[in-house]
Amino acid sequence: AEHLFVWSKYVSPPRGWPGVFTESPAMKQYVKNLKGRRMRLTEPPSALELERVITLQAQGILSRDSRANAIAVRQALGWEVMGGVVLLELSQGLSRSEAVSSPLYHAEPHWWNVTPRGLWVDFTPREHRKLVLVETAVPTPS
């Protein structure tokens, strides 16, 4: 079973991952309303990826501001910036692992980078392990 991690009052990934995206009408409608183009479950950067931005970390550039982080990584490594949202589910019920009758979803604006190989990498520090990132029609920062 997929482990759930808390971000504030939310869980990520949403309960029932990944089946929830095909089995839940509420989730399908929510993603449709976001005008999501692509969606991926991401984990924190690997040690190798972190090593490439160690100078940014030493300078204190990587912060909770995902947009500024993505731009700093683009300037340092040339990696494309992608914009969209982090998709979360409201934590309800007695346990984050039990299903709820009416799940509530939430999206937070977020930016991340894309490696030359097409991998999505998010260097913004996080309190949880996995995030569902959704590419949307938000403007890319310049």
- CB atoms closer than 10 angstroms to residue 137: 10
- CB atoms closer than 10 angstroms to residue 4: 20
141 located within any domain: no
Query: Does this model's pTM top 0.75?
Result: yes
49 located within any domain: yes
Residues 78-137: tens digit of each pLDDT? 999 999 999 988 877 655 556 667 888 999 999 999 999 999 999 988 777 899 999 998
Residues 12-21: tens digit of each pLDDT? 889 888 998 8
Number of domains present in the structure of the chain: 1
Dist CA 29 CA 43 (whole Å): 25
More confident position, 79 or 138: 79
73 located within any domain: yes
21 located within any domain: yes
* Continuous segment of H or E residues that includes residue 94: none
What's 52's DSSP letter?
Answer: H
* Segments forming the whole domain that contains residue 19: 5-32+43-135
For tokens 């970390």, name the residue: 57
37 located within any domain: no
**Looking at residue 121, what is its pLDDT?**
95
123 located within any domain: yes
Dist CA 66 CA 90 (whole Å): 21
CA atoms within 13 A on the CB side of 50: 9
93 located within any domain: yes
Dist CA 87 CA 123 (whole Å): 17
DSSP calls for 73-110: HHHHH-PEEEEEEEEEEE--SS-TTS--SS--EEEEEE
